[in-house]
Amino acid sequence: MLGRVNCTRRRYSALPLLTVLFAAVGCSSSQDVAVPSPQGEAARHCRALQEELPRTVDGLERGTPEPASDFTAIWGDPAVKLRCGVPKPDVLTYGSEHYNPNPDAAEVNGVRWLFEKQDDGYRFTTVLRKAYVEVTVPGTYAPEVDVLVDLAGAVQKTVPQGV
Tens digit of each residue's pLDDT (9 = 90 or more) over 48-65: 999 999 999 999 999 999
Q: How confident is the model at residue 2 (pLDDT cuts 50, 70, 90)?
A: very low
Start-to-end Cα distance in the chain: 75
Identity at 31, one-letter amino acid code = Q
Looking at the structure of the chain, the number of domains it has is 1
Write the CB contacts of 56 (distance below 8 Å, at least 6 apart in sequence). Answer: 62, 75, 150
For residue 131, how far is the Cα from the chain centroid?
15
In a domain, 21, yes or no: no
| Domain around 51 | 40-158
Decide if 11 is inside a domain: no
Residue 140 falls inside a structural domain: yes
Half-sphere exposure (Cβ direction) of 132: Cα atoms closer than 13 Å: 15
Classify residue 65: in a domain, yes or no.
yes
Provide the pLDDT for residue 31.
82
Contact 40, 87 (CB under 8 A): no
Residue 3 lies in a domain: no
pTM score, two decimals?
A: 0.81
**pLDDT tens per residue across span 95-146:** 999 999 999 999 999 999 999 999 999 999 999 999 999 999 999 999 999 9
pLDDT of residue 9 exceeding 80, the answer is no
Considering the chain, what percentage of its residues have pLDDT values greater than 90?
79
pLDDT tens track for 24-48: 333 344 689 999 999 999 999 999 9
Q: Is residue 35 assigned to a domain?
A: no
Residue 17 lies inside a defined structural domain of this protein? no
- Is residue 62 situated within a structural domain? yes
